[in-house]
Structure 1
Amino acid sequence: MNANSFKELQESIQKALVDTTRSAGQLANEDLAFHCASNPAVVPLLERQKSRLLDLVNDLTKVATKGTEVAAPGISDAEAIDDKWGGLVDVFDSLLEKADVCLDKYTGVIKKEGPSKPEKPTGAESVVIQDRLSRAKLRKPQLLFANPPSNHDTSPFKPLLKSKPHALTPLEECARPSKLPNGVASYAQPYEMEIKAARTSSIISTKREPVPYLPFTTTHATFVDTLEAVDVMLEELKGASEIAIDLEHHDEHSYIGIVCLMQISTREKDWIVDTLKPWRQELQKLNEVFADPNIVKVLHGSTMDIIWLQRDLGLYVVGLFDTYHASYALLYHKHGLAFLLKRFVDFDAAKKYQMADWRVRPLSEGMFDYARSDTHFLLYVFDMMRNELIDSSNLTQPGEDLLEEVMQKSKQESLQRYERPSYDKDRGEGLGGWNSMLYKTPSAFSREQFAVFRAVHQWRDTIARNEDESPSNLLSKKNLFSIARELPMSLPSLLACCHPLSKELKDHKHDLLRVVHKAKKDGKTGPEMRDFFRKGPSKADDQITVDGTTPFSKGVGAVIAAVRSQTPLPLRAKASQFWGSTLDDSKTGHPDKLAGHVGDHRLVLPLPDLTAEVFVDTKSPSASSLPGPIEPGSRAEHQYVKDKKVKENDVFVIRNSKKRKASDTRQESRDSDGASQNGASAAPEKMKLDTAAEDAEIERAERKRAKRQGRLERKLAKRENRSETQKGSAQNEPEPFDYENAPSVFHAKPTKEERAKNKGKAADPYAKSLNAPSGLPRVQRQTGGKSFTFTK
């Protein structure tokens, strides 16, 4: 079959699948049961199509499983699809694996048998091969290590050091375990004393001219994959005054992760060290350079690199300069290595290799160049940032020495100590425990869901340790929460919650289903999630120190202790630090219903009832004269409200909505007092006062109107005079200026006549603005209207 015919076949199959999917979606949106009931003629048509589709599925599964160990599931009717869905999934997986093998053979990942040596792939072909290898099941390189990792070892991590170059304290003292306050043994950081005692090198503290980097395209890196090559590299590194270091790590198919590559660069040369060799721990001989305080080690974002060097290779760094902390001190808006390379070198790193599978051997050309670029330019970047830090520092002001700040943070990175990940199945504590996962992704689980979540999380951790796989690669966080929410009771429903399906999960799917069944059954009588998290931190946690010297008894110390140990805090405190005893249920009479049904809510702040007693001023003399106790329901009949109610024969005035002056308000107040004293007899007097005030207000408004009219007339007169003046000046206007025949004005001095004529005069750029029409007069406000007085 040629390429054209294959493409035509592919397009025809794809079109048929799209049409079938579209038709199935349209049918799913129709109410088939209604159509069958309303039109019985539809039933045989649907049954005929259903039988045809089932026959096609059975024929396709038989063809797909021919010559394989997978048995084709026989589907007799539509109801049997759910029961035999697991068999269909196996068939699909078998087809995909066959397709993978064919693609690998086509692209050259799987070569035909022969003595010829495979050529090194380059260009786009290497990217295709890399993608295929990433999905292929490579043999785990950690199985070939002389000291393979033990994922079930929960003892304290003992440093891998066999010797300690540049030691201030001997290795024997550092190798002895010490007891922590909780009784657990622990090993100290072997180079803690050396890191703290190291002085800042003059290479860092002195401003120097940056050393230009060698061209990337005309230089090459040395691949170190033998112990002999390591010794040669070590001798060259001893003569350097500063080196750049970086690591490439893989944690997708390893429980704790493995260091796959180590890149080292000097001013003249680059090395890429293969750290997947069985003798990888022999690389700790590089401590002769890594622990030398006289050699500056430049890394970027060394937080995890320091941990990985200790865990896998037994290497420790003394004299670290972290360009990541330098970027923060210099207030850069980005802090990644790619940004620094673009800023100082104008080099674009190949981001597509950031998530590459670095276990692949041999390395493709693109991966090799990407790994080399991480350290090739780093020493030049260090020179530029060091000079910028020195220029930006102010040594006369405390806390403004940016260089010293970066060095202190770099020392803190070097002082890190690796500890094995622990797991507490009861409380879910530890680096990868379910406790921290629930804190980061809160979910309202029922008893059964909470029990299934804990059981599946523990099962995932156990299988990941046994298979030496990443827990997230075995069962993702999304799928874990999906299983806990859905509570699948059958294998098809369980597999539907686990897309995509990993190989390890496929091999242990029946065990996982049993775990879900048992956890759901036990969860009916198990603890609820909110009750579990109501358990506060222990008393010992309240005394955990933050900086090693200052203990906190409660409050902030308890919070920090809970964060460090992942100890859950109670959902509700006994007493609020802000509201005091307002939340005390014993005073308000509300029972604590938090542990009951979720839907049973009440006020968050149970404030007291707003009765009339709240408004009584107990300190005032009138409070004691109130007649008897006030009823709780008499909120609207408070004494203050009663005094303000309109009494019989009271006089009240209705006016137009007009802003009143203070004199009018005082006058009305006096009128109101007189009316309340004399009753209805004061009404005629009140009406007279209102009429006089109204007449006076009308007279004031007339005077204001007359003043405004006079101002307007004066403005019109001025405008007419100005127009006459402009007409006269226009008649005497001189002839237009002749710009063509006029002498040059560049640096020209005015004549005596011109100086005498223009003496004391200045140009007025706003002279012509006087000719503009004046604005509109102010809008006259509406005067007050009539008022009416009534008596009740």
Structure 2
Amino acid sequence: MSSEIPDPTLNFKQYQASLFKALVSAASASNALPIEDMGFYRTLDKEFSKGIDHVGSRLLSISNNLLQKCSDDTGISAKDYEDVDDVVDNFNGVVDVVDGLLERTDLCLDEMVGRVHKPESFLQQTAPEVTQVSQKSQNGKLEYKFLHAKNVVRPQIKFKDRINNSLTAPIERKIVYKPHAKVPLDNTETLEMDSGSIVYSLPHPYEYEIKHLEYPEHMFKEKKPEMYKPFDKTSATWVDTEEGLRKMMDTFEDVEELAVDLEYHNYRSYLGFTCLMQISTRDEDFIIDTLELRDKMWLLNEYFADPNIVKILHGADSDIIWLQRDFGLYIVNLFDTYFVTKVLEFPHHSLAYLLKKYCDFDADKKYQLADWRIRPVPEEMFDYARSDTHYLPYIYDCLRNELLEKSGANQNLLRQVLQRSAELSLHKDEKEIYDVKNGLGPGGWKNALDKWKYRMNDQQLSVFKQLHYWRDHIAREEDESVRYVLPNHMLFALVEKMPIDSAGVIGCCNPCPLLVRVNAQALALLIQRAKADALVGASQTEESEPVEKASAVVNTNSLQNPSHKSQESKQQNQPKIVKKKLDPSAFDLEKIAADRKVEASRLLKKTSSLFHSLLTESIEPTPEQNLADQIRATIKLTFPCEGLKVKVAPKTPAVPAVEIPADEHVFVPTTERETKRKDSDVVVLNSMSQKKKKQKRAQ
């Protein structure tokens, strides 16, 4: 029969027709069996009963496999079903998975007909369609220009070094060859504690070389600043091949200074990546396409680690980390011009201020938020990137002379700048740990919670922590920024409304991000369970790590390859069982009764200054008791109601009491009952008239 099944890769229509025919035949055969008489037929034939059990177990196994596969694709957790009763009792899990599949089907169909844009990972490389949005200040000067490309293929797809943002992934140091080494390369891992978690750390490859750096003598000699070449009369060299990279490196053989700057992109990546590197000598400018040469950039260590070449950067705290993480590059002999502005106490500390002060050049910072993944790079962005390093060698000369002039013979100001720069170059790239319990760290939930000005109840706080953890996990898995996965204002909208269905989740996010829409059903289940956890007890939830109970781990690559699923995601889908510890004394009734008696005796007061003893009469009255007797004698009971009349009722003869046996109860009809009155005057209060009642209500 298998030979008769058409190959779906060669003729899908025939395969589809044969599959539909087989499903119809199976449905017709199953419908022919009377369900209500199945038990009777099983008793008639043991072989029939065994066959039914065998087929049922096979169908249940196939259904479980399909369910688990679909749950992996949709991000909705579902357990295996053991028998028919289990299927009937927990069929809602199947419904959730099917709803998630239908939701993703709708999304794919919308992409096919063009109603929504496809994820960029599916796009073919074409000329990017650049959108420009400009913003002007009040004086009419252009401050920012946002350049965003709509159809840029994600560069991570072409990276030879696979990006792994997982918390459990080992540290990967890219440097394998250490030029200008005084000690060999050390790859020994050490254990460190970070936010209560054990992490592996590697030593800085050039720690010894930086701490024992001997600066070249030319750095401490005053000389006339060498003027830069006119910007508009020179051009920069675009480098995007290994051959061009090596030709550029040949020009660095006799240089004493290199000005370096980077252009970074971090919106469509969790940690971000370097898109361009600008390097300027005193004669030439180079713009390196680091997206194309990412795996070749380590060659620059020959010059970046050379202690005789000064590397000039401005505000290099981020650049140092980016160079290590993306290329395995390390800087020895760093001169950070930012520290000069601090030591010399300049009124401003930006590179734009230095360019204006020493070069009379107005830095065009309107492209700071541009998308540097765009290829080819627009000319205006190219010139902007080049201007950051073109003037730096001249500014370095001016700053160094000013430091030497104000330092005197000790050269202490220049040494101070070099010391701060060396400490900065010792920074190393470390894996960012997500602090689940306390929310600390730059990416923790506490920072976002502090910015939220409204109070949250226990359920909202539980939902917030679960959604924040889900966002961070999805961003790591898909290599997207948390802002792209779920912006903060949408996160708080979900926390405020706490929707429990996919439509509500999508309704809270406008426009709805792609990963939120794909995982809408999983997010709804996540919110439901977070609310339930808050009801069970916030303390228990705080002690254990947030569990991805709705999983919510969905890889957009699974649309192309549905079988793709990491083992780590499957392990995180397993719920963590939290056991409650009960105090046995809570069920000891005798102990509870004894505790109540002790508490009652503590609260009971046996005497009163006004009414004497509550339990026994006092034998000799005290002065306080005599005073209390006088107070009681002066107490009068009055009614603050006007219009009441007092009437004295006449005395009536006493009615003799009828002796009734103690063990006998005598019923007296209502008409024969007589009210016993004492031999005293009875005060009768006449009720107010209806008119006065109305007046009283009106008041």
Equivalent positions of 1:389-468 (< 5 A) are 389-394=403-408, 401-439=412-450, 441=452, 444-468=455-479
One of 201, 206, 211 as aligned partner of 1:196: 211
8 Å contact from structure 1 (residues 154, 422) kept in 2: no
Q: How far off is 1:327 after superposition?
A: 0.9
- In 2, distance between residues paired with 1:125 and 1:416? 36
Cα contact 1:450–1:529 (8 A) shared by 2: no
Give the 5 Å matches for 1:29-428. Answer: 134=148, 136-152=150-166, 154-171=168-185, 174-180=186-192, 184-277=199-292, 279-394=293-408, 401-428=412-439
| Superposition deviation, residue 408 in structure 1 | 1.0
Identify which of 497, 502, 505 aligns with 1:494.
505
Shift in alpha-carbon separation, 1:368–1:520, aligned structure 2, 3 A: same
Partner deviation per Cα, 1:301-346 (whole Å, 9 max, x = no partner): 1000000000000000000000111111111121111221122112
Q: Which residue of 1 aligns with 2:521?
A: 510
2:524, 2:133 → 1: CA distance?
42
Q: Is the 8 A contact 2:258 2:311 kept in 1?
A: yes
* TM-fit CA distance, 1:280: 1.4
> Using a 3 Å threshold, how does the CA distance of structure 1 residues 207 and 268 change in structure 2: closer, same or farther?
same
Higher strand share: 2
Shift of 1:510: 2.3
In structure 2, distance between residues paired with 1:334 and 1:125: 28
**Residue matched to 2:663:** none
Distance 1:459 1:342 in 2: 46
- Matching residue's letter, 1:327: T
Task: Assess if the C-alpha contact under 8 Å between 1:156 and 1:186 holds in 2.
Answer: no
Letter in 1 for 2:241: T
- 1:318-717 equivalences under 5 Å are 318-394=332-408, 401-439=412-450, 441=452, 444-527=455-538
Which residue identity does 1:315 align to in structure 2?
Answer: L
- Secondary structure in structure 2 of the residue aligned to 1:463: helix
Deviates more, 1:471-480 or 1:185-194: 471-480
Q: TM-score, normalised by structure 2?
A: 0.56
Task: Note if contact 1:451-1:523 (Cα within 8 Å) is conserved in structure 2.
Answer: yes
Aligned length: 425
- With 489-498 and 475-484 compared, the bigger mean Cα shift is at 489-498
**Partners of 1:243 and 1:266 within 8 A in 2:** yes
Any idea what the Cα deviations from partners look like across 1:687-721, whole Å, max 9, x if unmatched?
Answer: xxxxxxxxxxxxxxxxxxxxxxxxxxxxxxxxxxx
Structure possessing the higher radius of gyration over alpha carbons: 1
The alpha-carbon deviation at position 121 of structure 1 amounts to 11
2:131–2:147: 8 Å Cα contact kept in structure 1? no
Deviation per residue, 1:571-597 (Å, 9 max, x gap): xxxxxxxxxxxxxxxxxxxxxxxxxxx
- Please state how far the C-alpha of 1:425 moved relative to its aligned partner: 3.3
Whole-angstrom distance in 2 between the partners of 1:185 and 1:490: 41
* Alpha-carbon distance between aligned partners in 1 of 2:290 and 2:542, rounded to the nearest angstrom: 48
Superimposed CA distance per residue, residues 394-422 of structure 1 (whole angstroms, 9 cap, x where no aligned partner): 556xxx92212111110111000101122
Q: Once structures 1 and 2 are overlaid, which stretch shifts more, 459-468 or 195-204?
A: 195-204
Q: Deviations over 1:622-680 (max 9, x none)?
A: xxxxxxxxxxxxxxxxxxxxxxxxxxxxxxxxxxxxxxxxxxxxxxxxxxxxxxxxxxx
- Structure 1 letter corresponding to 2:172: K
Q: In structure 2, give the amino acid aligned to 1:287.
A: N
Instruction: Give, as a single letter, the amino acid of the residue that structure 1 aligns with 2:229.
Output: L
Cα shift at 1:143: 1.2
Instruction: Please report how far the alpha carbon of residue 500 of structure 1 lies from its aligned counterpart in structure 2 after TM superposition.
Output: 4.0
- Give the Cα–Cα distance (whole angstroms) in 2 for the partners of residues 409 and 208 of structure 1: 23
Alpha-carbon distance in structure 1 between the residues aligned to 2:530 and 2:129? 51
Q: Percent identity?
A: 41
- Answer yes or no: is the 8 Å Cα contact 1:223–1:274 preserved in 2: yes
Deviation at 1:444, TM superposition (A): 3.0
- Give the match for residue 586 of structure 1: none
Q: What secondary structure sits across from 1:293 in the alignment?
A: coil
Query: Which residue does the alignment assign to 1:65?
Result: none
Counterpart residue type for residue 227 of structure 2? P
Deviation for aligned residue 1:146: 1.0
Amino acid at match of 2:218: I
TM-score by length of 1: 0.49
- Greater relative CO, 1 or 2 (CA 8 Å, sep 6+): 2
Aligned 8 A contact 1:427 1:435 in 2: yes
For the residue of structure 1 that corresponds to 2:232, the secondary structure is coil
Distance 2:470 2:247 in 1: 47
Deviates more, 1:202-211 or 1:413-422: 202-211
Is the contact made by 1:121 and 1:364 (CA closer than 8 Å) also made in structure 2? no
Instruction: Return the letter of the residue paired with 2:464.
Output: F
* 1:637 aligned partner: none
Deviation at 1:486, TM superposition (A): 2.6
Residue 426 of structure 1, CA deviation = 4.0
> CA offset at residue 224 of structure 1?
0.7
Q: CA deviation at 1:183?
A: 6.1
Which shifted more, 144-153 or 450-459? 144-153
Name the residue aligned to 1:599: none
Q: Kindly provide the CA deviation profile for residues 89-122 of structure 1, in whole angstroms up to 9, marking residues without a partner as x.
A: 989x989976999xxxxxxx998xxxxxx8x999
Alpha-carbon distance between aligned partners in 1 of 2:184 and 2:542, rounded to the nearest angstrom: 51
Runs (4+) off by over 6 Å = 93-101, 120-127, 130-133, 528-533
Structure 1 counterpart of 2:634: none
Contact 1:243-1:265 within 8 A present in 2 as well: yes
Seen in structure 2, the aligned counterparts of structure 1 residues 489 and 123 have a Cα distance that, compared at 3 Å, is: closer
User: Gaps spanning 5+ residues in structure 1: where?
Assistant: 1-85, 102-108, 112-117, 534-792
Distance 2:362 2:114 in 1: 37
